[in-house]
Structure 1
Amino acid sequence: MDPAEVRNEEIPQASHLALDIGGSLIKLVYFSRNDNSHTDDKEQRTLNEGLGVSSDGSCPILKGRLHFAKFETSKINDCLEFIRCYRLHLGGFQHHETPSNKIIIKATGGGAYKFANLFEEELGISLDKEDEMDCLVTGANFLLKEVQQEAFTYLDGHKEFVQIDHNDLYPYLLVKIGSGVSMIKVDGDGKFERVSGTNLGGGTFWGLGRLLTKCKSFDELLELSHQGNNRVVDMLVGDIYGGMDYSKIGLSATTIASSFGKAISDNKELEDYRSEDISRSLLRMISNNIGQVAYLNALRFGLKRIFFGGFFIRGHAYTMDTIAVAVHFWSKGEAKAMFLRHEGFLGALGTFMSYGKQSYEGLSVDQATQQFPMSLSHAGDKIYCPLSQDLNDSIECSVYATQHHS
């Protein structure tokens, strides 16, 4: 669907648009009211009284959904067109008029600085910049506390949702895999420390993948890896030991001894290797490294819970399995890798929640109205990449907002 072809009746009544503009991807979160969310004065008063809300209606209850979308940062004009066509920057109560009549939208990530002028010139939007790490942790805490079946383990093809004990959530290690990787020790709401990271992340996979395979997109590279065999490219322990394990130190014959190691002795040129095998090896190399470094940092601080997020994962089975195996191997089974259904939207969700810090006292989700899975509005539009099927959802919720008058 081209944004220019959107009919008026397809445009949601949206509010609280929030942006996370990263080095590789732009993530959007916005809230839209349900069609039946409007109530007359009598109904509103009855509802307010039942919730202990003041009779003047200063605490509106807005039932609706949180929606998610993403774009490649290199195609930022598609993002601008999406916002313009769906009028996401104009609806609802999320924006405040400045003396120059510019609309203020919450945003985080490096692109909130880099592209600030572009948003102002194209849409008349002034970006109110929120700290990236604050938003990331806020988004993760929100999901882990408020959304049922958010966290899960994935090992040997088996997916199992994890029941989160809200009284025993902290501390945990949050591993955010974007263009690069940040590892954050989270001790509570607003209490966190970035303890480590690595420059070998999603940008590395995509960048090297483009150079080695000529793929035009991250998703194309991932799709290739489905059909690849990394053993054609990687040097295994068995290749060194004549097909045998190195059992004395716990290494099986199929353990990777050196990623891309066979290229040393194969006497082949790049064009002699299949792109599918290269992409598989590259994905395995980076995922293994992230899983190992994450566990070593968890060990450093005595953390048993490790949550992985970021659009590098994409709900991709092989990626999750590789990370999980690395954590399992290095921890000798004592630690587990856990993944998040809304993995790539942590920063954008945290930015969304930041509307509660200034103009509103708080935003929360009514768990009684949550339903999973649900369809993502306008999923499959050509201008942005849809989430994988089981993650292709929105959150139905009630937003409680109390407005300040400063």
Structure 2
Amino acid sequence: FSANAIRVTRKVHHKCQGVDPTTYEYCKGRNYIYIHTHTHKMPHRPRVRCLVRQGRKERRRKARNVAAGGWIPEFLEIVEETQDTKEDDDFGEKDSGYDDWDLTMPWFGMDIGGTLTKLVYFEPKDITPDELDQEAEILRNIRRYLTKHSAYGKTGHRDAHLQMDNVEIRGRRGSLHFIRFPTSEMGNFLTLARAKGMAQLVTTVCATGGGAFKFEKDFKDQVNMKLAKFDELDALIKGILFTDLHNHNECYYWENASDITRSEKKRYDFSMPYPFILVNVGSGVSVLTVRGPDDYRRISGTSLGGGTFLGLCCLLTGCQTFEEAIQLATEGDHKKVDKLVRDIYGGDYERFGLPGDLVAASFGQMNSRERRASVSREDLANATLVTITNNIGSIARMCASNEKIDRVVFVGNFLRVNPISMKLLAFAMDYWSRGTLKALFLEHEGYFGAVGCLLQFNGEIMSGSFHNDNHESSSATGSEVE
């Protein structure tokens, strides 16, 4: 909404056909809202203009919140802003077009992936008493529901341990909450959104990922929401840079990755990140080279990603969820399933530096009936995980070598609750590069796309604004911090 003109978003009620909506004024001695409805015939949708007479930004917010929160009569309907609203306000301030969303609607960013949907919600914490008094009851209830629960139904979860506090977005300070649910449950999500009254407040939701296109019609038809779609790779990069800036413990690596029982996480200073290879592991895999906040390109990828792992595990073990598949993999031994170098050579292949316990053929033992009869579900899950991880690591190492970049950052929800794969990737990068490549990981894993599109939708993105001189680093390539 602009500071000069909005269109009101309330449903037309046929019972109001006899009302003559000419001019409505709300001043009470302050004269800060003037609303005029254009000529129309009920129950058709009227157009509404809201002029804010006082220059203080807080009063403008309050005025618009009164309008959106229920003061305007029920028979008015809010539709999208038109060109005649895109003018300077009466006090010489330019309007971004989205400045006033902070009180009239929740702030959401969605990344609708092939397997998992990620939702980021910004909760303002600097709401003034006046703003709180004027806040719509629906908005207040939505905020309470999202922030007071860690589970929503059977499949929705809020990752409370990832919550980021004291984050500034669009001049407001608050907390970022991170919520996920299976994309297959999108229908239930829309039903919940409708039940909580979100359709009465939120007219547009920012979204990225393939599902932003796939479910666009469902959002419009079921909850009257428009999806503002953003490129997922653009959103991914912006989200990573913003999150790392606001969380100094975001980036880490695995020390002693070759020994799973002894390896541990160590913080890594990522304040001077460029250049780096970015490997995004979701249902599939994309590999990007990143040389600056606006200088990046996709250089490779593979269809064998997290979706492949989960699909094969479901087929081979009968598991139902990603968490169950990972738990099975944690308890299994892939060496009972894979054919190793020593199974072929009787030991190490010294001429080419191949250790005996290196996988020579994934699932290579399963052509034997006796072997198939002896393996467990856990062994099959572990072998599947190792197969997918080894493939990703091989592609990442090749890309880093071709681009002559020595740091590889792995992100994506495949790494959620999955330290096995992280340690395998860390070991592979270090071993096969003879210590010249470093595998890095980020705490918020698969949420960066949702963060990035929320920032872009609210106009927060500015080239080069994320990593500033206040971050100190011991070298141009980053430094390890114990």
With 139-148 and 125-134 compared, the bigger mean Cα shift is at 139-148
Contact in 2 for aligned 1:37/1:63 (Cα 8 Å): no
- Larger relative contact order (C-alpha < 8 A, sep ≥ 6)? 1
Contact in 2 for aligned 1:287/1:323 (Cα 8 Å): yes
Q: 1:110-259 alignment to 2 at 5 Å?
A: 110-154=210-254, 155=257, 156=259, 157-165=263-271, 168-242=272-346, 244-259=347-362
Q: Are positions 1:351 and 2:453 aligned together?
A: yes
Aligned to 2:122: 31
Determine the C-alpha separation between the residues in 2 that align with 1:361 and 1:329: 38
The aligned length equals 322
Q: Are positions 1:301 and 2:391 aligned together?
A: no
Task: Find the partner of 1:339 among 441, 450, 454.
Answer: 441
Per-residue Cα deviation, 1:254-294 (whole angstroms, up to 9, x for no partner)? 1111111111234455x653111000000011111111210
Letter in 2 for 1:76: M
Q: Are positions 1:80 and 2:80 aligned together?
A: no
SS class of match (2:458):
helix
Contact in 2 for aligned 1:24/1:179 (Cα 8 Å): yes
SS class of match (2:111):
strand
Change (3 A) 1:339 1:82: farther
Contact in 1 for aligned 2:323/2:417 (Cα 8 Å): no
Contact in 1 for aligned 2:400/2:408 (Cα 8 Å): yes
Determine the C-alpha separation between the residues in 2 that align with 1:30 and 1:88: 13
Compute the displacement of 1:246 (Å).
1.9
Letter in 2 for 1:164: F
Unpaired stretches in structure 1, ≥5 consecutive residues = 1-11, 42-58, 96-102, 368-406
Unpaired stretches in structure 2, ≥5 consecutive residues = 1-102, 132-168, 469-482
Change (3 A) 1:191 1:77: same
With 299-308 and 139-148 compared, the bigger mean Cα shift is at 139-148
TM-score, with structure 2 as normaliser:
0.62
Q: Are positions 1:324 and 2:444 aligned together?
A: no
Determine the C-alpha separation between the residues in 2 that align with 1:288 and 1:15: 41
Change (3 A) 1:361 1:69: closer
Structure 1 vs Structure 2 CA RMSD: 2.7
Letter in 1 for 2:351: K
Contact in 2 for aligned 1:234/1:281 (Cα 8 Å): yes
Aligned to 2:387: 285
Task: Find the partner of 1:262 among 341, 365, 368.
Answer: 365
The alignment-based identity, stated in percent, is: 37
Letter in 2 for 1:173: I
Change (3 A) 1:235 1:89: farther
Letter in 2 for 1:227: E
With 75-84 and 214-223 compared, the bigger mean Cα shift is at 75-84
SS class of match (1:354):
helix
Determine the C-alpha separation between the residues in 1 that align with 2:293 and 2:199: 29
Q: Are positions 1:69 and 2:199 aligned together?
A: no
Change (3 A) 1:105 1:262: same
Compute the displacement of 1:16 (Å).
1.6
Contact in 2 for aligned 1:234/1:256 (Cα 8 Å): yes
SS class of match (2:414):
coil
Determine the C-alpha separation between the residues in 2 that align with 1:302 and 1:90: 52
SS class of match (2:413):
coil
SS class of match (1:285):
helix
Contact in 2 for aligned 1:149/1:161 (Cα 8 Å): yes
Contact in 1 for aligned 2:238/2:461 (Cα 8 Å): no
Change (3 A) 1:133 1:273: same
